Structure 1
Amino acid sequence: MNRSRIFSALLSVALISAIPTLANAQKTNWQNLDLKTDSTFGISTEKAYKELLKGKKSVKVIVAVNDGGVEATHEDLKRIMWVNTKEIAGNGKDDDKNGYIDDINGWNFIGGPKESINFETLELTRLVRRDQDRFANTTDANVAEKDKKDFAVFKAERADLEKQLAEAKENLAGLTGFKAALDAVVKKIGKQNPTIEDFKNFKPVTDVDARVQGVVIEELGKNSFKDFYEEQITEGFDYYNRQVNYNLNLDYDPRAIVGDDPNNVNEKFYGNNDVAGPDAMHGTHVAGIIAADRTNKLGILGVADNVAIMGVRCTPNGDERDKDVANGIRYAVDNGAKVINMSFGKAYSWNKAIVNEAMKYAASKDVLIVQAAGNENKNIDVENNFPNHKDLDEKTIASWITVGASGPKDDATLKASFSNYGKTQVDVFAPGVKIYSTVPGSKYKNLDGTSMASPVVAGLAGLIRSYYPKLSAAQVKEIIVKSVTKVNHNVEYAKSEEPGAEKISVPFSDLCISGGIVNAYNALKLAATYSGKAVAK
């Protein structure tokens, strides 16, 4: 998760801020609302159900959530989870002979016989670890001619790793210090959950007290103290602690848990059937956005009303491995998914070729892949973000949508501050700011990210394929891209993540191929005009 502007009075950590607020009546479903009717830049899902889909029949479509885990027992997901009826649950046998034992709701490619991976290193860390022994005694003076290119890459990657690790350590120390100072102020106030008025009435004793008071008063203008502390202090500490001790730690390698050979890209039958894993927060949230039960009067409303969610666990708390990504795609395709959501990405790739081949395989089987653009506020036309389609054929690209994140207001803030963008690499934008969805424990939470925008589009793709099942994956993508609500004004975003960074203003059309926000109402109207549609009325 990208974090921009955190506690600039004390440290330069990241926190998504300056996010427009929504009326309480709308905040739990704003991504499905209509700009004209509701004055909120959603995708007009509810309007589509009311005016276009009422009384129409549909077929069930399987949508795979290739992610960090899905809680299949969640109150708002349990009815819509994919169930492999060819398997007999719990008998320890591969009843359907697909190579995966007891895969009732999907498969976990980062699990082993006894447990599953939670934390992992970044791909950058793995690449540096791979090459540091090879170049242990190599210098610019003695490097062999044949190794010069690889050595230059290694040095650049090592420098990047060292830079990120130093920043993570600095931020962890700063946040730890801020937390201690804040806890001391709260103790002086004498309330467990002080209000903004409590902080305003507080009389600082030290300069640190005063700086803490100023930061918290600003933040409590947007959040309760409890939410502020959980989302910014606790989660911030956990984030940088993970970076220091796991993600960027050359000495950490949990892969033995799985028991496979991670370098054998031809190995496919490994893992376990625990589709939730040790941390199902992210994937459960994604699944709810796509298809949370629209009939049970509980929780939230998913975009699609007749899809089954297949859980494919392939991403840990760290960077996913290309082998697992490729196998996750192939598993979803081979077991009937017609849409795959991939809310993940990374700056480096170990073996892009095997992911490319899996993408081609999905395209050949008429499966649409929907991918999050990433949360670094960078132009992925020129900066790496994997997977990407920079070296893939047109047929594959025609079955692959990359999604940026937008906010609720049709103004200069429409581009989410964190969202990546790209005139040639990002197809569309969709709501991804303060999206309220399912999380483990049959609970619900707001999260931000292109990770939330991607399942909005995956849900729309599932909706179209459900009501118009004869349309191909390429046609569904074409419909989604052609039917966007065009944005004919400029948007602003910061040039960097530094506090107070200069903002630039650009036409929204410079940010993605379509120049707009996806729209379910428009898409379904357009789908009805395509030849080959098959919907019983």
Structure 2
Amino acid sequence: MINQRELWRSLIVFLLLISTVVALSVADGTNSSINNSVNGTSNTTTNLTDAPYVPGEIIIKYKNTDSVSAMSVPSAKLASLGAGVSDDFSAEGLKGMQMIDVDTSISVEKAIEELNKSSYVAYAEPNYVIQLSLPSEPELPNNTTAESFSAESVSGAPNDPRFSEQWALSNTGQTGGTSGADIGALSAWSVTTGSDSIVVAVIDTGVDYTHPDLAANIWTNPGEIAGNGIDDDGNGYIDDVHGWDFINNDNDPMDDNGHGTHCAGVIGAVGNNGIGVSGIDQKVKIMPLKFLRADGSGDVAASLNAIAYARKMGADVISCSWGGTAKSQALEDAISSTNVLFACAAGNSGVNTDIIPQYPSCFTEAQIISVAASNAKDGIPSYSNYGPVSVDVAAPGDGILSLYPTSLGSQYMSMKGTSMATPHVAGLAALLLSQKSSLTPAELKSLIMSNVDTISAWSGKTVTGGRIDAGKTLSALSGSSVSALPGQSNKPKDLNGDGVYDDINGNGRRDYADVSLYFQYLDWIKSNEPVAAFDISGNGRIDYSDVVKLFQGI
């Protein structure tokens, strides 16, 4: 059966090709790379070498997936390329895939052309450059110490002193946004705050694994003995105690850019520890996998090894806050080889990715969930990509306060972009797995997408037309069903689809009788019903404020 996303994309591309003007403008893009390009323009031409790539390096996949080397292919043409194997991804579970270096006397374009003529080769492509990008420079708060702000007095909130600044988790309008335009973290935390048994791999610029607000939630390889110079667990990596650096090929994935630490903090900054901020998962294990340098640059080959490591070492969720226009078949194959959910950033060019695809977010693998960025008013920031077919959900990504490497001069930083939205989805997936570890990637994706808050601004902009809601999603997972209140024959109903039961007596309308009944049975509801289903005020608990909010809404 033809994948629906691919069918729509093919139709759109076909219509675009009819227009000579559009085709020429696309072909003329000069800044296409696997990163989001400047000014929202990207090159969608099918020429494999239009995007930047590492000189002299080619990723090749053989049709015969047994262990082979480039030199075993009986082709005089290969020998003439002066090709030599520099990396064998077969050892990482990507059978028949290698990277070869070619002689500088022949261009990568010509070498690929010759390789693709071989009956032994499934495909050959450049080792594309990956260049990290954000919509703007990070915004440094006036005071960057962990204790500089007071925690908001909200029931159910953690004691982290800067939690009151985390509008994405609990939006009270504190940044000039819309109250309630958040992911409902307080409601979710009434169910679970996460689990140390769930591992989220952050494939990025590395992670400051010594950060005081993150160290307790950093993954430690249980099979490795630190500092003994031995590959104790036999995974091919020596002393990989806290992940790996695939750029420098060493066991120190320390973040020297800031981006990876910020993303990791959104997922798993230690919650309720009295310092700084809280991650969506107050308890979780973050696996730092560095494949981007201090300047934000890397390549596909490094990402393949990082993905393979995450799979091999048992990551439950993979967070990918990077992407762009170069379509790497090798990268798609690496993702396909896993059985975990990939949260992928939709990109920051402000374009429709149904028309100008971004990768890996636009790959059609079932385990990929593509994420756009929403702001504190549930609107669409000008930089966020969107796509009614290719982008699945929105998540908070504008002005997000999270962690920053201590070595870079500030432990906390506000940043924006779909890079910040993506770890919100990865964090929600980890919360769900903390409740039910057997959930498949498809089940996780379905739960997240089926329980968004539908937002008018996002209608026709994403598949779901909404922003993620952690509280609603956790309630759906637990299968919480409401009961008829004492003396009533009908169960309460959710009339507007926001996950909260505003028709308390179940008669199909919201009226004063619901207010009276809610007030009368307030204590009974608190003892017998899920908080998320009856938290009308959105403050994370069931109390008199819900009665007031219900009355105001009539």
TM-score if structure 2 supplies the norm length? 0.55
Aligned to 2:274: 297
Please point out which of 177, 194, 202 is paired with 1:65.
202
Match of 1:87 among 217, 224, 229: 224
Matches within 5 A, 1:496-511: 508-511=458-461
Work out whether 1:522 is the aligned partner of 2:472: yes
- 1:106-125 matched pairs, under 5 angstroms: 106-111=243-248
**How far did 1:285 drift?**
0.4
Q: 1:338 aligns with which of 316, 330, 338?
A: 316
Contact 2:381 / 2:398 at 8 angstroms: preserved in 1? Answer: yes
- Cα distance in 2 for partners of 1:72, 1:319 equals 21
User: Bigger CA drift: 421-430 or 317-326?
Assistant: 317-326
* Alpha carbons 1:4, 1:418 under 8 Å: kept: no
Aligned pairs for 1:118-157 (under 5 A) are: none
Q: Which amino acid aligns with 2:354?
A: D
Instruction: Give, in whole Å, the separation in 2 of the partners of 1:466 and 1:95.
Output: 29
2:189 to 27, 41, 49: 49
| Partner of residue 426 from structure 2, selected from 452, 458, 461 | 458
**Deviation sequence 1:36-56 (CA, Å, 0-9, x none):** 998041100112213x338xx
Query: How big is the shift at 1:305?
Result: 2.6
Report runs of 4+ in structure 1 exceeding 2 Å deviation: 1-5, 14-18, 23-28, 34-38, 315-320, 346-349
Which structure is richer in relative contact order (CA contacts within 8 A, separation 6 or more)? 1
8 A Cα contact 2:245 2:253, kept in partner: yes
The residue number in structure 2 matching 1:321 is 299
Identity of aligned residues (%): 37
Kindly provide the CA deviation profile for residues 474-529 of structure 1, in whole angstroms up to 9, marking residues without a partner as x: 101100000000013x4xxxxxxxxxxxxxxxxx2221111000000011011113
Match of 2:261 among 281, 284, 293: 284
Matched AA of 2:225: I
Alignment-mate amino acid for residue 331 of structure 1:
Y
Q: Distance in 1 between matches of 2:196 and 2:276?
A: 24
Shift of residue 2, structure 1, vs aligned partner: 8.1
Q: State whether structure 2 residue 352 is matched by structure 1 residue 376.
A: no
> 1:78 is matched with which residue: 199, 210, 215?
215
Contact 1:3/1:15 (8 A) holds in 2: no
Write the distance in 2 (CA, Å) between the matches of 1:27 and 1:415: 23
Q: 3-state DSSP class of the match of 1:31? A: coil
Q: 2:286 matched to 1:309?
A: yes
Matches within 5 A, 1:396-475: 397-410=365-378, 414-441=379-406, 443-475=411-443
- 1:241-260 matches, within 5 Å, as none
CA distance, structure 1, for counterparts of residue 286 and residue 37 of structure 2: 27
Listed as ranges, the matches of 1:102-251 within 5 Å are: 102-111=239-248
For 1:80 and 1:384, the matched residues in 2 are separated by: 34
Unaligned runs of 5+ in 1: 6-13, 112-270, 491-507, 531-537
Structure 1 residues 456 and 369 mapped into 2: Cα distance closer, same or farther (>3 Å)?
same
Give the drift of 1:384: 3.2
After TM superposition, the structure 1 stretch with the greater mean CA deviation from structure 2, 288-297 or 466-475, is 466-475
Q: Secondary structure at the match of 1:446?
A: strand
**Is 1:484 paired with 2:452?**
yes
Q: Contact between 2:344 and 2:361, CA under 8 Å: does it hold in 1?
A: no
2-side partners of 1:17 and 1:282: how far apart?
9
Match of 1:357 among 327, 333, 348: 333
For the 8 Å contact 1:380–1:425, the answer to whether it is kept is: yes
Instruction: Write the letter of the residue equivalent to 2:243.
Output: G
Q: Whose helix proportion is higher, 1 or 2? A: 1
Establish whether residue 29 from structure 1 lines up as the match of residue 166 from structure 2.
yes
Aligned-pair CA distance for 1:306: 2.7
Equivalent-residue separation in structure 2 for 1:513 and 1:453 (angstroms): 16
Matched, 1:513 2:473: no
Structure 2 CA distance for aligned equivalents of residues 509 and 380 of structure 1: 16
For 1:284, what is the secondary structure of its paired residue? helix
Q: Secondary structure at the match of 1:62?
A: strand
Aligned to 1:181: none
Q: Is the 8 A contact 1:380 1:421 kept in 2?
A: yes
Alpha-carbon spacing, 1:324–1:17, altered in 2? closer, same or farther (3 Å): closer
Structure 1 residue 423, shift from structure 2 partner: 1.1
Report the Cα distance in structure 2 between the residues aligned to 1:306 and 1:443, rounded to whole angstroms.
Answer: 19
For residues 198-225 of structure 1, the C-alpha deviation after alignment (integer angstroms, 9 at most, x for no partner) is: xxxxxxxxxxxxxxxxxxxxxxxxxxxx
Q: Quick check: 1:30–1:408 contact (8 Å CA) kept in 2?
A: yes
Q: CA RMSD in A?
A: 2.8
Residues 276 and 17 of structure 1: CA distance in aligned 2, closer, same or farther (over 3 Å) = closer
Structure 1 residues 376 and 453, CA, compared in 2 at 3 Å: closer, same or farther? same
Provide the secondary structure at the position in 2 that maps to 1:95.
coil
Distance 1:406 1:389, change over 3 A: closer
Which structure has the larger Rg over C-alpha atoms? 2
Query: CA-to-partner distance for each residue in 1:438-461, whole Å, 9 max, x for gaps?
Result: 001171010011110000110110
Equivalenced residues, count: 325
Unpaired segments of 5 or more residues in structure 2?
Answer: 1-35, 41-134, 140-148, 153-162, 481-554
- How far, CA to CA, are the matches of 2:241 and 2:390 in structure 1? 35
Partner deviation per Cα, 1:84-108 (whole Å, 9 max, x = no partner): 1211111111111000111111011
CA distance in 2 between partners of 1:476 and 1:354 (Å): 25
C-alpha change, 1:281 and 1:16, in structure 2 (3 Å) is: closer
- The one-letter amino acid paired with 2:289 is V
Contact 2:37 2:324 in 1 (8 A): no
Q: 1:59 to 1:92 in 2, by over 3 A?
A: closer
The 1:58/1:106 distance shift into structure 2, 3 A limit, reads: closer
On the 8 A contact 2:200/2:316 being kept in 1, the answer is yes
Tell me: CA distance 1:94–1:470, structure 2 relative to 1, closer, same or farther (3 Å). Answer: same
Maintained 8 Å contact 1:291/1:309:
yes
